[in-house]
Amino acid sequence: MTSDGGYLSLTDVANGAEVRLSAVSNWRARHADFPRPHMVSGQEVFDRDEIAEWLQNRKIPQNRLKSDERPGTSYGDRLLLNIDATGRPAPERPNTGSAPRPQTLSWSKGLWSAMDHLRGAHDRSFALEYLLGLVYVKTHEPRAWQAVVATTEWSEVRATLSGVALSTTVGKAIPVFRALGQVADASLLEVIQLVDKIDLSSGPGPGSPGAQISDAILADLERAMGRRGGHFTPPGVAGFLVDLLEPNQSDQLYDPFCGSGELLVAAAEVAGREGFAFDGPQVHGQPSHDWSLLTSKMNLSLHGVEADISGPANALDDDLFVDRQFDVVLANPPFSMRLNPQASREWPFGDPPQHNADLAWLQHVVTKLKPGGRAAVIMPAGASFRGGREAHIRQKMVERGVVECVVGLPPQLFKYTAIPTMVWMLRGIDAARGPAEILFIDARELGELVDRTERQLSVDDTTRIADELRRWRERGTLGEFTGTAGFSRAVGHDEISRNDYDLTPGRYTGQVPEQIDTARVARELDGLSGELRRLMERAEQIQRLLYTKLDAAVAGRSQDSTGRSVSLGEVCDVLAGSGTVAKEGRDSFGIPLVLPRNIKENRIGIEDLDTVSPATARRMDRYQLIAGDIVTTRTGTLGRYGQVGEEQAGWLLGPGCVRFRPADEVDPDFLISYLTGRAALHWLTEHASGTAIRQVTTSTLRRMPLWLPSLPAQREIVQILEPFRAAAATHEEIGSAVTGLHDLLVSMLMAPGTTLRQG
């Protein structure tokens, strides 16, 4: 939107400066002097002159300049050229239909109003997928949309929406709305009317309301799905890969593991910046699963990208583009997944180990590149140094000259994994071998914390890395490139051979005395200290409520005559986890498997999860978890419990665990409070067997006694105890924030040359 008086929305700024919306959001988040917003008609906007003046200080990098822009041109110059004489971008295309439009809502207000209607009544992941489907239907299926808004009968709406499907290349079409047969709720009808009020008349395209809604829903889906959100590459990382590859309009683009289409959207945005003027599909992807196929197709369509998305099928087992090669490949494949033992194919640089497909993905990407083609692939750090077959494969890849560059990435770029990551820059197999050296870039110290668990690369960071790669590519002869100590170095194959083909950047770039970026540290300190203040204020509020509940509980304590004594097996379905399971490894695209190590502090941890393939998961459907289940261990340290939340629904009960599924007469929060109490722990200790390693059987657990009050009484107890849980969780967050502040201060105070003022 634009507003009268020379105001611009963040989207207007991004479109005018011809950068991604995430770049403008990053500028705003990281620079204290970014212009302050104004509220106009309930929406956040920025003064056009203030924005243009601020952008005058941000020069456009050499590689981002358009053909008619001189070196030194700023984003402010570009913005002013792209807005008309009134100080506003060109108006949106008017609605030319003859039928009157309903009262419209801004996309953001409409979207989150719709989410408010669904909150509580439906799983958040279902709600977000439902919304994305509705926006897709409104944009691309006008006849179906007219039919659903014209009725108030859910049966008619469900019949219409159930008929909307996306074609596949390996079987029948996949319905856009896959779970409608399982739900019926007035809120689903109300949401349709809210979506109908969102103005999508400008159609699909980059920066359109539909595209922005898709981005917002996918970002929220990542948060809602937690560890299951392995389908997503953060926008900043996707943009970084595109910066390294510099695709253009003539390039054929390919993603062999198309999670939700975000990498292809980012690449197409740059390659087609002059209007997405593709001559037929030049964007190609192969999702592995139904969900990814649906999401990728809808996401790309809402961004106005014509794409050939084929599947679903695992590209390592069944390459649906077997006769095709591409100019540019981007990939963020699953880490450490197992190879299909029944699949067979020729590997150009050697057979990868059966238990780990990392080097299989790298080889697959190389085979999909045209001679002279280029690729960027995200890999776990272990792929660069593990021995055995993988070392042999790296040797052959290095000797053939297909590895151009390896970039060590900062930690915490991927919120739901702690695994260190790297980017491998690859080139296609040419008749002439590639250069006899590899560029190593150690970027582990770049990026800034945006919260305690997530780091982002700034525009300056990505530009620095991309410029270093470009400078190396433009060198005159072998050995001419001069790297930056502690950051980059070009290394010949002989030296790499002497290091057993270890391709870890830090092994070659060396170290320099740490140079503290005081401005960055100050921003991070400010952010963390602000978070600590908020946590302390929350702790004070919880503490007041805690004492109120405590006093009321002590004063009003009485015996509940409506309760009864039961055994756990009478009021819960008790199930032991499966035996041996074929795991795909950690951080792979699969169904998470809950193991004893994942049960901690009354929750299921998202860290250090193993996964199984969807095929294995289908065979284990009796072990599927639902929200409200309680999982415990049956060996080792007993008395640890974790409650399954909405984000873990669909995960699998693994070996060494036991699942309690409470009956309708049992509140799950009440049950976990009882199980973690002193009496239950004492009973468990008395009835466990073993000496060195304690263990308990499911039959023993079923006999555990429980005093079960009425359901209203259970819920009252839960309400009394809730402030105590909240206080414990908040103090854990406070501890984490204090640790973060401590680590920042240590790096600043103990840097060489730092002195403290006395007094």
**Where do the domains of the chain lie?**
2-82, 102-272+291-308, 333-509, 518-563+709-759, 566-706
Token pair, residue 633, equals 């261990």
Measured at the CA of 26, the angle between CA 22 and CA 29, to 5 degrees, comes to 135
Query: What pLDDT does 541 receive?
Result: 77
Closest CA to 455 of 503, 417, 488: 417
In this structure, are residues 157 and 148 in contact, taking their beta carbons and an 8 Å threshold? yes
Residues 6+ apart with CB under 8 A from 48: 6, 7, 8, 83, 87, 88
CA distances from 638 to 675, 682, 704 (A): 11, 11, 14
Q: Comparing 2-82 with 333-509, is the CATH topology the same?
A: no
Q: What amino acid occupies position 653?
A: L
Q: Are strands 630-633 and 403-408 parallel, antiparallel or unpaired?
A: unpaired
Strand 421-427 relative to strand 369-380, pairing:
antiparallel
φ, ψ at 656 (rounded to 5°): 80, 5
| CB-based contact 286:315 (threshold 8 Å) | yes
**Residue 322 φ/ψ region, left for φ over 0, alpha for ψ in the -120 to 50 degree band, beta for the rest:** alpha
Angle at 110 between CA 105 and CA 115, to 5 degrees: 170
- The pLDDT value recorded for residue 102 is 41
Q: What is the CATH number of domain 333-509?
A: 3.40.50.150
* Helix (H/G/I), strand (E/B), else coil: 360: helix
Superfamily (CATH H level) for 566-706 = DNA methylase specificity domains (3.90.220.20)
Q: What is the Cβ-side half-sphere exposure of residue 165, based on CA atoms within 13 angstroms?
A: 13
Amino acid at 225: M
Q: What CA–CA distance (Å, rounded) separates 244 from 330?
A: 10
**Per the structure block, which two tokens stand in for 86?**
């009134």
For CA atoms 311, 316, 317, 318, the dihedral sign is: positive
Amino acid residing at 214 = S
**Cα 297 to Cα 166: distance, rounded to the nearest angstrom:** 8
Query: Three-state SS for 662?
Result: strand
- DSSP E strands, 33-116: 38-40, 43-47
Cis preceding linkage at 312, omega within 30: yes
**CATH architecture of the domain covering 2-82:** Orthogonal Bundle (1.10)
Q: Which two tokens stand for residue 176?
A: 């856009």
Which residues have C-beta within 8 Å of that of residue 521, sequence separation ≥ 6? Answer: 744, 747, 748
- Compute the distance between CA of residue 245 and CA of residue 374 in angstroms, rounded to an integer: 7
| Contact (Cβ atoms closer than 8 angstroms) between residue 277 and residue 249 | yes
Closest CA to 156 of 176, 135, 133, 184: 184
Strands 7-8 and 43-47: antiparallel
In the chain, what are the helix, strand and coil shares in percent, each to the nearest 5? 40, 15, 40
Beta carbons within 10 angstroms of residue 725's beta carbon: 15
Sheet holding 591-594, edge to edge: 585-586, 610-612, 591-594, 652-653
What is the rounded CA–CA span in Å between residue 690 and residue 47? 71
* Averaged pLDDT, groups of 10, the chain, 759 residues long: 60 79 63 72 72 82 67 80 52 34 54 65 73 92 92 89 82 78 71 86 84 85 58 86 90 93 90 53 87 90 90 91 95 88 88 93 97 95 94 96 95 82 94 79 88 81 92 80 89 94 92 61 76 80 75 65 87 89 57 86 74 78 87 85 78 91 90 90 87 83 92 83 76 80 77 60
Give the CA-trace dihedral at 225, 228, 230, 231, to 10 degrees: -70
Q: Are 720 and 549 in contact (CB under 8 A)?
A: yes
Q: Beta-carbon neighbour count of residue 18 at 10 Å? A: 16
